[in-house]
Copies of this chain bind each other. A is one copy, B any other.
């Protein structure tokens, strides 16, 4: 293994994190917080920067990377960033337990939004800012970000981007990967800025606008009030955030196509049609059920619009406790949790394209069984889906189910309620955030044992990186020395 190159990239990444850790210092100074707050971020920035410097002291001789190393870099960097990013919370006392702080930071970077905090309003502004800022960094991928600012690691970095950008296929936008990364990040940041402005116009305070824009952009879902978005009680804010979440759940390549005036290609995306179709269909069905129970028609539309967009994009903002909704609506939301956003978006879950291809294939199998002599080919995005791709997607699904069941069994040992256990794994593995039962919008992950908090943190990272990198990291064979 090219250990020098692995260490070098990890070191560079820690140096970048050290710089980013200085931003909350500014926030802390603006709001004149007690000295321990700016200090905690400065100390951790220094430590992280120094560790990073140690890693990069030896310039790697060979710069090329193989797939295996790509996986290892990606998984180690997410674990390291979460670890160092957790330290300020421990130092300033906002989250005294290191395990809890690690869970919270991993939840931030992976844009999960699951929290161990029972009362988020006790946090200082600088802590709140950093907590939500990790969503912004993690959304597009921490290594994509590194590629955007560090063009010199371009060779072999295709493996890194492949391992970090979600979805079954990965297309370079332009020929140089670092250019692709930069374009992606520019689109991403411009959109975030627009949302901040719109939220301000809708009457949200400045600080709150930043926090919620970060949460929507990364489809993360960390807020700053105990009732998430509910306390603002503003249709305008819910509309802006709902639409924003839908936008950040769309494949970013489509925005690049639009920016380069390839409108037709962008709007003909089959995945986009599935994505929007599922969203509209679910909103209609849930609105209908809610309006027959607890809500008026308009009230049902408002709450179902916000919940559906928040859940399918795996953001996890909430305005209404869907724990109390009738069962059909709850199961539909649970299904959306697994579908997730589009490939190449900041959303988690299985991704719409995977689900669409799987469903189309399953029904083609039905046709093939009925007429064994007919040739049946599945098309997606106007291209035939070849056997190799199908196999990869099907295997992903199987690995997904296997790991899901294993984690569910482990955490169930200390739980007593099926709904809580099942939705805790769904919410972390799909990077959603709040689940149902005890981990619902009004609950938290605080009651889990430290062991299970670490397990669920790894589950979040595994979900964000689409399983393989973390499994490779833990495969004993990978670390064995070869003759």
Contacts and interface: CB of A to CB of B under 8 A. Distances in A.
B399 A366 contact: yes
A415 interface: yes
Given A394-B394, A397-B397, 15 more contacts: A67-B369, A68-B371, A71-B369, A331-B408, A359-B402, A361-B395, A361-B398, A363-B399, A364-B395, A365-B391, A366-B468, A370-B472, A390-B394, A394-B395, A397-B398
A397 B394 CA distance: 9
Interface secondary structure of A, over-half rule: helix
Contact of A394 (B68, B369, B372, B398): B398
Contacts of A446: none
Interface string A387-401: 100111011111100
A410 to B, nearest CB: 8
Contacts of A335: 405, 409
A327 B394 contact: no
Given A67-B369, A358-B398, A359-B402, A327 B471 contact: no
Given A387-B387, A409-B335, A413-B328, A71 B397 contact: no
A68 B468 CA distance: 40
State the 3 A-B residue pairs at the shortest beta-carbon distance, nearest first: A394-B394, A365-B395, A362-B398
Contact of A331 (B359, B397, B409, B475): B409
A265 interface: no
Contacts of A330: 412, 418
A395 B376 CA distance: 14
Given A327-B417, A408-B331, A359 B472 contact: no
